[in-house]
Structure 1
Amino acid sequence: MLQMDDDDVPQLLVADTNFDAAGRPLERPKVPITLLTGYLGAGKSTLLEYILTAEHGYRIAVCMNDFGDTTDIEAKSLQLSNPSDPNAPSSSLLALPNGCLCCSVKDMGIAAIEDMVASQRDKIDWVVVELTGLADPAPIAKDFWANEEMGDLVLDSVICVVDSRNVLKQLAEEREDGAPNEAQKQVACADVILLNKADLVPAAELDNVAAAVADVNSTLRVHRTVRGNVRLAELFDLRAFTSPAVAALPEPEACCAEDDHAHTHAHAHGMKGPNTVSTITVHLPTLPTDKFERLNAFLESLLWNGTVPTLPGGKAWEGATPDILRTKGYAVLADGSARVIQGVADLFEVRTLDPTANAGAGAGAGAGGAEPRPKIVFIGRGVDETLGEWVRAYVGV
């Protein structure tokens, strides 16, 4: 069994009753879901082994691509029927001694996972879904995110595990069509990355690995790990799709101390060409309502329509439209309200921030308790300072 530090288990929101004082039904808290991505051999299975066997205090349903290797784990095998289709074959579920559940995710869609959660609702606090080694997490994250209003699940974050020995080569692999490769897509979509097998890489090379993944996605929370050894509190309750905390990372450079101007930082020191996936950060001042509406219109054009909008003076974008894989942002309006912006590929959402909703671990302020600074971050192929300048010119900041 892996030896790991004790986990700080976040407080779970559990209703004491099904009705409020006035007799109105209470909304049942949704079950957070974490997507686990990474190449075959990166170390996802080692992390899942810990989740399924250690006494960490979480009640987690782990949906694995294949749990054939868990046959030596003492467990009770359950058979679950599919409420959506009573005639469909039942799926297997392993109930493990530490309170976790394990099921196979092969051929399972969102509906099947929702059915599993519904049937085990009183036994599950969290769901982890393991993706295949070559899977693009973006469309899967989009599906879960888009279905939040209708189901019992809420997308918490995407975690990527990489093999520190091989990830530089994997990130550098070129595809004939010029599209981002699988490793680039996985890192770009992630909120947390585990630089696994750190003990097998010299310190200087590991620093290069950390810099390379930051070039792809500068908003990542990075953990250097050995055999996937990380406190689960660092992976869960991140609220990456609802909290402004990620917009505060990394902390602004010295030139970003003032909020009364907008400027751009490109995070692509190792960029080799227009097909490289990288990050561009546009720092924003406080926005009047009309300028925030222009920012929203820019996002609609770029993400929904795949077109960089023409500037107010009539200047049109030249060249290929950037291929945006992930968008993150935080905006403060002149009336004192704030907005959280999250996007995966062509799907994006703007939420008005409830200052009381994100209190707690992993949710509110940025690193060191600092308030998140207004910014919009684009992660994708073909993003550079030209795009940042275009945003500022279109919004008028």
Structure 2
Amino acid sequence: MQDEEPPQLLDVSSSDEAGPSRDVYDRPKIPLTLLTGYLGAGKSTLLDYILKEEHGYKIAVCMNDFGDTTDIEAKSLTLSDPSSQSTTTEFLSLPNGCLCCSFKDMGIAAIEEMVANAPGGIDWVMVELTGVADPGPIVRSFWANEEMGDLILDGVVCVVDSRNVLKQLAEQREGDEINECQKQVACADVILLNKLDLVTPEQMKEVESTIRTINPTLRVHHTTQSKAPLSDLFNLRAFSDPTALTSTRPTTNHNQNNDHDHSSDNCSHPSHTQTHTNGISTILIPLPVLNQKQYFKLNEFLESILWDNKYPISKKPSPEILRSKGYIQLDDGREYVLQGVADLFELKELPGSEQKEGQGQGQGKVVFIGKNVGEEVKVALREFVGI
């Protein structure tokens, strides 16, 4: 670890617009959504809905492989993968303006080329991950990769099977490792608690409470057959526009019969340390208004536990952090949002915050999601930052 260069922070330049960020040529970026979820959760059903419905969006859906969801009459085309001399990637151009492509081992450069050559242009790109994939390294790769070109990571959407997710979350792994389902929930920005029609209101309440215990920063939607307005899934700007992270939204019920009442008032929302099976846990650490020195100390603390995997004072090993989020206020009026995936993080200043002294958007806080995250993290942060 001593000889390795620490990971670089991402560019912290801010966008002046509410929409997707723009490059130096003022060209709009195309949002890319990563779709995760355990086997049988309903990802294919969601993709089938996107590919068949007349929703008004031009979406490129990159699937792991062709299956039942691509049994649609359409023109078949081929695209060479620039990362491989021998691999070609088929995709279907659909009547509703969408594209569906096979995604076996296709790299970011190939997705960028496909989008650039798509007839009529593309509004969004959705990339399906395998049901047993750990989304963390993939999210990190898409977020930090400079080859994204016209693409920009928009957010992570997770679909879960509400009937079986509690059992999936409790599955044990060798060495008490965090299992795939837990990692998928922890890394998500939006979650669809699917198969609402197969559970009782009491069961759904327990499912949502457990899900929010693992990741209290989620935007939660209850769905049947994975159907939710696409406006709830896209243009999240979770990795590009920090203002998208400063507000919380209540649970949304998309059950057509509306028989279940799962409003956020009926579900428990964790506020401090919450631990789940296999040691995955979340801690929310309230922050007072910080001065400049304390802000620098907070940044140093993050570098220590995320880059070096140790506490800055005691030098003891720190927990394995999957996601980091936060909102920080400074005494000069500036506001920052923390966003992190594994060891990659950024502290991004909110646009125009220096002009709003004394008008903060609520109490500062930092949220860590990971393995065995507990009070020790809170104590260490407060001691090192001096709060």
What is the TM-score with the length of structure 2 in the denominator?
A: 0.83
**Equivalent position of 2:263 in the other structure:** none
Q: Which amino acid aligns with 1:163?
A: D
Provide the aligned C-alpha RMSD in A.
2.5
Name the CA shift for 1:122/1:232 in 2 (closer, same or farther; >3 Å): same
Please give the secondary structure, in 1, of the residue aligned with 2:304.
helix
Conservation of the 8 A alpha-carbon contact between 2:108 and 2:148 = no
**Equivalent position of 1:176 in the other structure:** 174
Give 5+ residue unaligned stretches, structure 1: 1-10, 19-24, 252-263, 311-315, 357-369
Q: Aligned equivalents of 1:98 and 1:206: distance in 2?
A: 34
Runs of 4+ in 1 over 6 A off after TM superposition: 11-15
Greater Cα shift, 107-116 or 324-333: 107-116
Name the CA shift for 1:71/1:127 in 2 (closer, same or farther; >3 Å): closer
Q: Which amino acid aligns with 1:49?
A: D
Q: Aligned equivalents of 2:297 and 2:40: distance in 1?
A: 45
Q: Which residue of the other structure, out of 192, 195, 214, is the alignment partner of 1:194?
A: 192
Conservation of the 8 A alpha-carbon contact between 1:61 and 1:128 = yes
Q: Which amino acid aligns with 1:230?
A: A
1:297 matches 2:297: no
1:324 matches 2:330: no
Name the CA shift for 1:122/1:142 in 2 (closer, same or farther; >3 Å): farther
Name the CA shift for 1:375/1:105 in 2 (closer, same or farther; >3 Å): same
Shift of 1:271: 3.8
Please give the secondary structure, in 2, of the residue aligned with 1:266.
coil
**Equivalent position of 2:5 in the other structure:** none
**Equivalent position of 1:390 in the other structure:** 380
Q: Aligned equivalents of 1:148 and 1:331: distance in 2?
A: 27
Q: Once the two structures are aligned, what percentage of the paired residues are identical?
A: 57
**Equivalent position of 2:309 in the other structure:** 306
**Equivalent position of 1:29 in the other structure:** 28
Q: Aligned equivalents of 2:205 and 2:20: distance in 1?
A: 39
Conservation of the 8 A alpha-carbon contact between 1:62 and 1:101 = yes
Q: Deviations over 1:313-359 (max 9, x none)?
A: xxx265x5211000011212222222221110111112222249xxx
Give 5+ residue unaligned stretches, structure 2: 1-17, 251-269, 354-359
**Equivalent position of 1:334 in the other structure:** 331
Q: Aligned equivalents of 1:12 and 1:120: distance in 2?
A: 22
Please give the residue correspondences for 1:257-272 in structure 2 after superposition, counting only pairs within 5 Å.
265-268=271-274, 271=276
Conservation of the 8 A alpha-carbon contact between 1:192 and 1:222 = yes
Please give the residue correspondences for 1:100-249 in structure 2 after superposition, counting only pairs within 5 Å.
100-120=98-118, 122-148=120-146, 151-242=149-240, 243-249=242-248
Q: Aligned equivalents of 1:72 and 1:179: distance in 2?
A: 38
Q: Aligned equivalents of 2:246 and 2:120: distance in 1?
A: 34
Conservation of the 8 A alpha-carbon contact between 1:214 and 1:267 = no
Q: Aligned equivalents of 1:247 and 1:317: distance in 2?
A: 32
Shift of 1:71: 4.6
Q: Which amino acid aligns with 1:66?
A: D
Name the CA shift for 1:71/1:33 in 2 (closer, same or farther; >3 Å): closer
Q: Deviations over 1:22-65 (max 9, x none)?
A: xxx82322111100000111001111111001011111000001
Conservation of the 8 A alpha-carbon contact between 2:194 and 2:224 = yes
Conservation of the 8 A alpha-carbon contact between 2:20 and 2:235 = no
Conservation of the 8 A alpha-carbon contact between 1:247 and 1:373 = no
Residue-pair matches, total:
344
Shift of 1:78: 1.5
Name the CA shift for 1:12/1:76 in 2 (closer, same or farther; >3 Å): farther
Q: Aligned equivalents of 2:177 and 2:68: distance in 1?
A: 34
Q: Deviations over 1:211-269 (max 9, x none)?
A: 11111111111111110011111111111123244344379xxxxxxxxxxxx94241x
Shift of 1:120: 2.2
Q: Which amino acid aligns with 1:225?
A: T
Q: Aligned equivalents of 1:70 and 1:176: distance in 2?
A: 34
**Equivalent position of 1:7 in the other structure:** none
